[in-house]
Amino acid sequence: MTTTVTIGVIPINTTYTAVTGATGGSGLGAKFDVTKTNGVYATTVESTNMGTGYALGDTITIPGTSLGGAAPANNDVIIVTGIGTNGSVKTFATAGVGAVGNGIINTIINVTPDGNAAINTYSLNDKSSDYTVVNDTTDNILKVTSALDTLVSFNLNNYQRINYTDKSTAFDLSGHAGDVYALLKAGFGSTIVTNNAPLNTLTYNTFEGLGIKMEDAGQTSTQIAQAIASSGVFSSLAGGSDYASFVNFVYTNVVGTAPTPAQALPFVTQLATGATTEGAMLAAAAHITSFQQTIGLVGVAPATTGVLAGTGIDFIPA
């Protein structure tokens, strides 16, 4: 679902009745009804208050402050072009521009998602740096504030992801986005290095986007883990495609230190005998609670959420 919101003041579309102003001549008593629509005045003289003593060419200036604006910028100037009995105002011309808004900002826009969707994504047609996001995990609301006008914000109720023009951010940390993130961290490490150079953030975010697309389409965590383990990037990072290289690399990524031969042997044996697969082992490793705490997916007591609850997980949609 996409909602387009124009940042600005609320237009005044209303009628001011029986207003009057200073005259440039000796006439008095004329009263007018002024309807303002998005800053455009439509003025009529009241039939029971047409005044007396006016002359052709007289001006009657209704101050902008009487019309929801400022003086003299929003004055409504009435020029008498025809007079009736006793110098009453019969016909006239007008000049003036009304205030478009009343100074009140559209501060909070509540957005309700598609109740039938498993994942709700909201698209903001601008770059991510033009917004700040606070994830209210208690009420399940993403609170998005415009950096262009900080009085403007969106309450995205029960939304999990946000699309910008330069990237997307996911907050379903216990769902598909969080699962893919853990698999990538366990499989590739915190810093992906290929050919002795770190893989840039854009590429990492692209992998995240690919994984999210796969899980959203129905593939399991184990299937995605197997795709990671079978990739050329993985074998390059692990230093080989044999079971020992696999175990050593994943163990290091998850635990933080390389395994001893005795620690690695049971895992290598399980793979060699077919008791498990690389995909299943990687998926299991990625779901170890202490590891998910380390990478910020879940909190360490007494925290209820990990640090990623605040930032979300960036990805490039596939």
> What are the sequence ranges of the domains in the chain?
9-102, 107-162, 167-315
Q: At 270, list the tokens.
A: 């399980």
Question: Rounded to a whole number, what is the largest CA-CA distance in the chain?
Answer: 113
Query: Cα–Cα distances in Å, from 204 out to 126, 219, 307, 313, 316?
Result: 22, 20, 19, 11, 9
The whole-angstrom separation of Cα 44 and Cα 41 is: 10
List Cα–Cα distances, 63 to 67, 138, 188, in angstroms. Answer: 7, 50, 69
Say how many C-beta atoms besides its own lie within 10 A of residue 37's C-beta: 13
Token pair, residue 3, equals 């909602």
Helices first, then strands: H and E counts in the chain = 9, 19
pTM of the entire structure? 0.68
Highest averaged pLDDT of the listed ranges 11-15, 151-155, 303-307: 303-307
Second-level CATH architecture of 167-315: Orthogonal Bundle (1.10)
**pLDDT digit string (tens) for 8-42?**
566 778 899 999 999 999 999 999 999 999 889 99
Residue range 198-233, pLDDT digits in tens: 456 667 899 999 999 999 999 999 999 999 999 988
Which residue in 127, 129, 161 sits closest to 142, CA to CA?
A: 161
C-alpha span between 11 and 8 (Å, rounded): 9
Residue 157 contacts residue 112 (beta carbons within 8 Å): yes
Instruction: At 153, give phi and psi (nearest 5°).
Output: -145, 160
Q: Looking at residue 152, what is its pLDDT?
A: 77
